[in-house]
Structures are given as C-alpha cells and as structure tokens.
Amino acid sequence: MAKEIIIATGFYDIPYKLNVPGEELPKVTHYYSDPHFYAFQKVIVVGAMNSAVDAALEIWRKGAEVTMVIRGSSIGERVKYWIKPDIENRIEEGAIKAYFNSSIMKITPETVEVITPEGIKIIDNDWVIAATGYQPNLKFLESAGIVLSDDEVRCPVLNPETHETSVKGIYLAGVICGGMNTHRLFIENSREHAEKIIRAIASR
Ligand SMILES: Cc1cc2nc3c(=O)[nH]c(=O)nc-3n(C[C@H](O)[C@H](O)[C@H](O)COP(=O)(O)OP(=O)(O)OC[C@H]3O[C@@H](n4cnc5c(N)ncnc54)[C@H](O)[C@@H]3O)c2cc1C
C-alpha cells in the first residue's frame, strides 16, 4: 500500500455545459485538441476566454470558417495580452465572425441557432467547440476525506509548507490546490508545490 499519495488532477474534469438541445450530438465537444481536424469546415467556438480564443485562432489559421458565440460584450479581460489584439483584429476585419451578447439556443446536425441582439440567427455548422470552462472534481477530494473550506471557493485545506492535506500522507499539487478559484494557480506559480511535497516526504 502507498504510504504517500500526491493528487494533481487539475480542473479540466467537469465542463460547464451549455444546457441546450443538441449538446449531446457527436459534433459538440468541450475539449479542443488538433486544429488540422477542423480544416475547411464550419466551426462554432463558444466562449471568449483563453481556451476559446486559442481554438478560434488556430482553427481559423488552418482554413476553417470560424464563428464565435460570446455571451458578454467583449473578449475576456484575462486573455493573454499578446493574444488579445490578434483575436480582436481578426474579428474587426471579419476574418473570424463573432456574435457578442449572444447565446446558443439549439444545435442540430447541420445548424446552430443563436440568439443575438439582432434576433435569432441560424448558422450552417459542422462542429461546435464549447470552451465554456471547467470545474475541478472536488467530490473526488472529499471522497478521499480531504477537508475543503466551507466558503464558495471550496479550497482544500493544506499545510502551506508541505502541501499535505487534512489526510495524513495525501498531498495536493497544481491548480487543484485553488479549489473553485481556478485562475489563481497556473504552471509558473505551481512548480514550487512539487518541491515542497518532495522535501516533506524525503524528510519523513
Ligand atoms: C488553452 C490554454 C492555454 C494555457 N496557457 C497557459 C500558459 O501560457 N501559462 C500557464 O502557466 N498556464 C496556461 N494554461 C493553464 C495550464 O494548462 C494549467 O494551469 C496547468 O495545466 C495545470 O496543471 P496541473 O498539473 O495542475 O493540471 P493538469 O495539467 O490539468 O493535469 C491534470 C492531469 O490529471 C489527470 N486526471 C484528472 N483526474 C484524474 C483522475 N481521477 N485519475 C487520474 N488522472 C486524472 C488529467 O487527465 C491530467 O493529465 C493554459 C490552459 C489552457 C486550457
């Protein structure tokens, strides 16, 4: 039996759903990987944060016809500062079409219905990439007995020096340490977790 366990499960486990008819169709995905797959096809990207913007730009650069459906009135403020002007300029020149203040109402095998400030648009469509964000699987941590904060962040309770949880011998590393606050930690500021954990284990 393992004496020590390190959990580093990130926060991409549970996508936020669109909750619209047709979301279960095989052309709809919450996980984007290879832009070449979408070349020369009609793709809708939902969302306006880093994942949506990266997907839209990469797929458009592989020759796809890309339409973004964005709930708010602009590209997300937290989009990387060197990427944001790229997407804004592609939208402004019309290379990538974007519907702001808009939401998907329905997805069919051939189309997507979008409610926009100008009314309902029916868009021909091959693929939908719903880059609508994710939540960490905190139930998994709780099922291991790990205590979470009782506020809305549900932050796992950790010893900040060792990253050991409330369960002796179980440590957390990476983004999962932030609970529902999934923007607080990223690659650069999580590397120290591994160092702390290994130091703690080695000193036992
Ligand atoms: C488009 C995009 C661009 C990004 N750009 C940057 C950037 O420029 N700089 C930066 O710092 N960060 C960036 N990030 C964020 C970065 O990817 C995350 O901060 C980082 O991956 C988190 O690392 P992690 O090890 O905590 O979790 P993850 O990298 O998510 O790794 C978790 C792993 O655990 C596995 N897993 C989950 N549950 C289980 C289970 N029950 N059993 C077994 N395995 C499981 C998963 O399959 C996965 O392999 C970006 C993210 C995205 C989506």
Give the pTM.
0.85
Summarize the confidence of residues 69-87 as an average pLDDT.
97
Q: Are residues 78 and 56 in the same domain?
A: yes
CA angle 158, 160, 166 (to 5 degrees): 20
Summarize the confidence of residues 66-86 as an average pLDDT.
97
* Domain end call among 77, 98, 130: 130
For residue 97, the domain's CATH number is 3.50.50.60
Q: How many domains does the chain have?
A: 2
Q: Are residues 126 and 27 in the same domain?
A: yes
| Bridge partners for 10 per DSSP | none
d(CA 47, CA 41): 19
CA angle 67, 61, 113 (to 5 degrees): 15
Cβ-Cβ contacts under 8 Å for 175 (sequence gap 6 or more)? 10, 11, 136, 182, 185, 186, 190
Instruction: Tell me the residue range of the domain where 30 lies.
Output: 17-130
* Domain end call among 111, 130, 149: 130
Q: Are residues 72 and 153 in the same domain?
A: no
**C-alpha 73 – ligand 1 centre gap (Å):** 28
Q: Are residues 83 and 181 in the same domain?
A: no
Residue with tokens 């832009």: 35
For the chain, how are helix, strand and coil distributed in percent, rounded to 5? 25, 25, 50
* Domain end call among 130, 146, 177: 130
Number of Cβ atoms within 10 Å of the Cβ of 15: 15
Residue 137 has pLDDT above 90, yes or no: yes
The number of the ligand 1 atom at minimal distance from the alpha carbon of 176 is 26
Summarize the confidence of residues 140-155 as an average pLDDT.
97
pLDDT reported for residue 129? 98
The best mutation among 5, 6, 7, 12 to test binding of ligand 1, ranked by most ligand atoms within 8 Å of the C-beta, falls on: 12
- Average pLDDT of the chain is 97
pLDDT reported for residue 1? 84
